[in-house]
């Protein structure tokens, strides 16, 4: 089922207070993303996957879910993860190469980041099956990009979810490219949402830069899942302004005019103008909100930078019950060079 025309937002379906809170989250996520790119360029974090341009899709999705729901992210779900309760500093620690960055606090139901494409989707389906068997009132959300629909894990997860009518949402942020490969090279179908029909699953296509449309689509899918109505595939049509990661150069495969055309549809600007039109926001409030976002992000950066050095021995832990001889030799060589503790 394709609902893209029915899910356009008017700004009247949600309270001004909720829209304002969503907007503040969106600018916080954007500021986080820009600072993360700067941190990578200055060598303070590793390769990073930017999300600028996809804030509406992520924040809108996050607000439509309940705290008890489970998220199964890719490497680009920083925004929805923060909305769901993952501390910003934890996300920075992940991109800083710290194992603490893979650990969600107690009560924050988010699985660790999945870098391999689509491998998190069978995990999401498995968790949804467990929830159904236990009679739990929870929904799982498996996140994916358009490129993930070319992976076998996507098809297996969709098929399993459809057969067993599981309480899972497949949330696809279709940003038009799988690294440098455009959507036209990924699929011959007109949309991603229509793929759902092959598995007996409902498909919904929404404007991913319209936060209210995203919120309403996810809320509908989550309510349906909780009532036993089965899975939903949501295609949020959006766009990433920058490169796939900081190791990529999007100018080699995208025309600058295309990027600028999408900037005209920016989700943050659209919601800002909605709030201004409703008379609940001002330019002064906007400037203050951006300043607050800067302070929030800076505190998280300071927390990451203040983390104690990692014990070098940890790179040899947890992979084997008994460390193989060649790794024992490497560990001893490392200790000879760097000592027995932590440090850079």
Closest residue by Cα to residue 128 from 65, 197, 72, 192: 72
- Residues facing 72 on adjacent strands: 142
**Which of 44, 98, 253, 331 is an active site residue?**
253
Confidence grade of residue 342 (pLDDT, cut at 50, 70, 90): low
Query: Rounded mean pLDDT of 215-237?
Result: 98
Indicate which residue of 31, 84, 240, 250 is catalytic: 240
Give the angle 16-203-129 at the CA atoms, nearest 5°: 95
pLDDT of residue 263: 97
Question: Using 50, 70 and 90 to split pLDDT, how confident is the model at 340?
Answer: low
pLDDT of residue 126: 98
- Rounded alpha-carbon distances, angstroms, from residue 33 to 37, 76, 214, 231, 327: 6, 10, 20, 31, 37
Report the share of the chain in percent with pLDDT over 70: 95
**What is the pTM assigned to this prediction?**
0.92
Query: Which CATH code for domain 16-307?
Result: 3.40.50.970
- Token pair belonging to 166: 């599981």
244 part of the active site: yes
34 is catalytic: no
Which of residues 339 and 336 earns the better pLDDT score? 336
**Is the confidence at residue 3, as pLDDT, over 60?**
no
215 counts as catalytic: no
Q: Domain residue spans in the chain?
A: 16-307, 310-344
Mean pLDDT rounded to a whole number for the chain: 94
Judged on CB neighbours under 10 Å (0-12, 13-18, 19+), 126 is middle
Asked whether 61 and 214 are in contact (CB, 8 A), the reply is: yes
Which residue out of 244, 250, 270, 312 is catalytically annotated? 244
pLDDT at residue 8, as a whole number: 44
């Amino acid at each position: 089922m394709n609902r893209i025309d029915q899910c356009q937002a008017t700004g009247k379906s949600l309270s001004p207070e909720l829209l304002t809170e969503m907007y503040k989250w969106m600018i916080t996520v954007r500021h986080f993303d820009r600072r993360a790119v700067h941190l990578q360029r200055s060598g303070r974090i590793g390769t990073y996957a930017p999300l600028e341009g996809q804030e509406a899709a992520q924040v809108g999705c996050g607000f439509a879910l309940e705290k008890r729901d489970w998220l199964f992210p890719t490497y680009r779900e920083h925004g929805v993860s923060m909305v769901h309760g993952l501390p910003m500093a934890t996300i920075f620690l992940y991109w800083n190469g710290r194992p603490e960055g893979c650990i969600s606090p107690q009560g924050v139901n988010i699985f660790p980041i999945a870098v391999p494409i689509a491998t998190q989707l069978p995990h999401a389906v498995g968790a949804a099956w467990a929830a159904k068997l236990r009679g739990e009132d929870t929904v799982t959300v498996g996140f994916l990009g358009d490129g993930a629909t070319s992976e076998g894990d996507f098809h297996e997860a969709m098929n399993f979810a459809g057969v067993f009518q599981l309480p899972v949402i497949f949330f696809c942020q279709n940003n038009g490219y799988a690294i440098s490969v455009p959507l036209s090279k990924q699929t011959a179908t007109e949309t991603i949402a229509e793929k759902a029909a092959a598995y007996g699953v409902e498909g919904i296509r929404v404007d991913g830069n319209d936060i209210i449309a995203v919120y309403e689509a996810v809320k509908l899918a989550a309510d349906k899942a909780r009532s036993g109505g089965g899975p939903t595939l949501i295609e949020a049509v959006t766009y990433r302004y920058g490169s796939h990661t900081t190791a990529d150069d999007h100018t080699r495969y995208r025309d600058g005019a295309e990027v600028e055309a999408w900037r005209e549809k920016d989700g943050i600007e659209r919601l800002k103008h909605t709030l201004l039109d409703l008379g609940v926001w001002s330019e002064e409030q906007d400037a203050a909100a951006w300043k607050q976002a800067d302070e929030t992000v800076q505190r998280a950066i300071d927390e990451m930078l203040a983390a104690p050095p990692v014990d070098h021995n940890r790179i040899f832990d947890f992979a084997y019950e008994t460390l193989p001889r060649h790794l024992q030799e490497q560990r001893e060589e490392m200790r000879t060079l760097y000592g027995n503790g932590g440090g850079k």
